[in-house]
Amino acid sequence: MSALIAVDWGTTSLRAARLGAQGQVEEERSSPQGILAVAAGGFPAALDALCDGWHQDKTLTLMSGMVGSRQGWVEAPYCACPAGFDDVARQLVWLRPGQLAIVPGLSCEHDGVPDVMRGEEVQVFGALRLLGLQDATVVLPGTHSKWVTVRGSRIEGFTTFMTGEFYALLRRQSILSRTLPPDDGPLDASAFDQGVAHALTGHSLLGTAFSVRTLSLFERIAAESLPSYLSGLVIGEELRAQPAFPAAVVVIGSPDLAGRYQRALAPQGVTTHAVGHEATWQGLWALSKTLG
Amino acid sequence: MSALIAVDWGTTSLRAARLGAQGQVEEERSSPQGILAVAAGGFPAALDALCDGWHQDKTLTLMSGMVGSRQGWVEAPYCACPAGFDDVARQLVWLRPGQLAIVPGLSCEHDGVPDVMRGEEVQVFGALRLLGLQDATVVLPGTHSKWVTVRGSRIEGFTTFMTGEFYALLRRQSILSRTLPPDDGPLDASAFDQGVAHALTGHSLLGTAFSVRTLSLFERIAAESLPSYLSGLVIGEELRAQPAFPAAVVVIGSPDLAGRYQRALAPQGVTTHAVGHEATWQGLWALSKTLG
């Protein structure tokens, strides 16, 4: 029998892993049944369907991500920063006592404006354990990128950047989309670097984004390189928005996306450590070990 | 008989005015026949239809805007900055000699990246004449806002900000749109000011835009105020992106939009002069007076 069923339930996808007694991944499954694709009341059935045959009734199941949001299965109130691993473990929301729980997200506040995350906190705690770190700046690229500050194993605060979403909007919905090819194609590293550099010398993506149009209009960049250039522009803008660069950051994400951040950060003198999505399973595994 | 038919032919709209011997507007007409709505070869017929009865064959017609772009009637090559009124007048592209011409747009370059405008140059020259100015910073808010520097009646350079387009994308296509009401409603000045202030203290719209979601999530702002708040955020971002504020700016645009810029600029100690779209007719009229 497995020791834990770990579930990462986001807005547009549902992933689950069956972990063995040492925390090793024995099987992974995923489905497009993100919370937006599940009707109210349909969450238990969607989970059962994905975990079919995993003896879910006999195995602890921990879920993180948007499943704990207002649009999810049950709303799990945010845990306020600074927050450590133990604070999160204490505020699990139990759906079936001792058997099925949702991990709460975190909230913090800067200058009177709140910020929130759901799911990334588990990845951060998992990555810190994998790397044996207590202090770090952790970057989680994605639709809504997070820059997280960890001191003494506690998440002190974080900032969200809508980088992936801005890329998708500019790529597919804006006037710039007219000059871009239908598919992104492989990364053109030189065009990506050019985009990062232009963003870093600019003052705002509102202005630098227009260069996608003008560089194309004056035939200074090939159409097939424009998606890479635009990717560099938005990631470069996320870097430009940092008040200062730490000496090192941990980047959690898919190899392609984490690689782009590593490429953009290197010329800024920032050392990077990349961790994949195994951070989620590691974080949920560590949480399970704190329970009776 | 009229002295000039002035045409402002943009991406999504076509406007024309019949001007009398003193440059006064005798009649204005408009249609949704922007260049994107006109099939190749259909431009003469679209113009004739709008100007029906204006004795177009006997009256000089000057056109500005995207009608001179690659997707327009005929491509009118950009006039390079610095460019004065006379440079533009000299580079008119004649479709019917002495009778029908397109005004060229302007191009400039910053740090190896080109920028372009089509139509705004006519508004700038028109506004300067209306206000009797030779030196100014001119702001033209819109889908693609322009900040234009004029010295000695010549346009030295300008910068484009995709402010209106970012607003529309975030308002209608992003995750933020889910918390916004279907209609913008009247401006909530206080929410607008809050958005401007947050943008000015932030580092990038990539980050500050997420506050639309979190302020709504924590019920710190009413849903019906969110469009005004978001409008303040994007206009505030455009202001934040300025390297420095001039003592005074000329704002050319509709009363509502120009009013928002005036409201956002006032606390920065910037004096503003607002000019409406009559600047276009004034600019084309002045151009017509330079011709034999």
Residue B62 sits in a domain of what CATH number?
3.30.420.300
Nearest-angstrom CA–CA distance, B230 and B214: 13
Task: Tell me if A204 and B234 make a contact (CB, 8 A cut-off).
Answer: no
Please give the structure tokens belonging to residue A252.
């959690």
Q: Could you tell me if B137 and B249 lie in one domain?
A: yes
pLDDT tens digits for B63-83?
999 999 999 999 999 999 999
**Residues of chain B contacting A175 with CB distance shorter than 8 Å:** 162, 165
In a domain, B37, yes or no: yes
Statement: residue A134 has pLDDT above 70:
yes
Burial level of B90, CB count in 10 A (0-12/13-18/19+)? exposed
pLDDT tens digits for B112-149?
999 999 999 999 999 999 999 999 999 999 999 999 99
Average pLDDT over residues A120-144: 97
In a domain, A205, yes or no: yes
Q: Does A240 touch chain B (CB under 8 A)?
A: yes
Q: Does B211 touch chain A (CB under 8 A)?
A: yes
Closest by CA to B193, choosing from B251, B249, B263, B272, is B263
Contact A152, A87 (CB under 8 A): no
Q: Specify the DSSP element, H or E, that contains A248.
A: strand A248-252
What is the distance in angstroms between the Cα of B145 and the nearest Cα belonging to chain A?
A: 9
What is the distance in angstroms between the Cα of A288 and the nearest Cα belonging to chain B?
A: 29
Domain count, chain A: 1
Q: What is the CATH number of the domain that holds A184?
A: 3.30.420.310
Task: Tell me if B207 and A241 make a contact (CB, 8 A cut-off).
Answer: yes
The phi and psi torsions of B220 (rounded to 5 degrees) equal: -95, -10
Q: Could you tell me if B169 and B252 lie in one domain?
A: yes
In a domain, A132, yes or no: yes
Question: Residue A176 corresponds to which amino acid?
Answer: L
Which of B50, B75, B100 corresponds to the end of one domain?
B75
Nearest-angstrom CA–CA distance, A24 and A71: 31
**Residues of chain B contacting A215 with CB distance shorter than 8 Å:** 113-114
In a domain, A170, yes or no: yes
In a domain, A156, yes or no: yes
Task: Tell me if A114 and B205 make a contact (CB, 8 A cut-off).
Answer: no
**pLDDT band at residue A97, thresholds of 50, 70 and 90?**
very high
Task: Tell me if A113 and B166 make a contact (CB, 8 A cut-off).
Answer: no
Domain extent, residue B11, equals 1-75
Task: Tell me if A115 and B169 make a contact (CB, 8 A cut-off).
Answer: no
Q: Does A219 touch chain B (CB under 8 A)?
A: no
Which of B75, B97, B128 corresponds to the end of one domain?
B75
In a domain, B94, yes or no: no
First to last CA, chain A: 18
pLDDT tens digits for B193-221?
999 999 999 999 999 999 999 999 999 99
Specify the pTM: 0.95
Q: What is the mean pLDDT of chain A?
A: 96
Task: Tell me if B207 and A160 make a contact (CB, 8 A cut-off).
Answer: yes
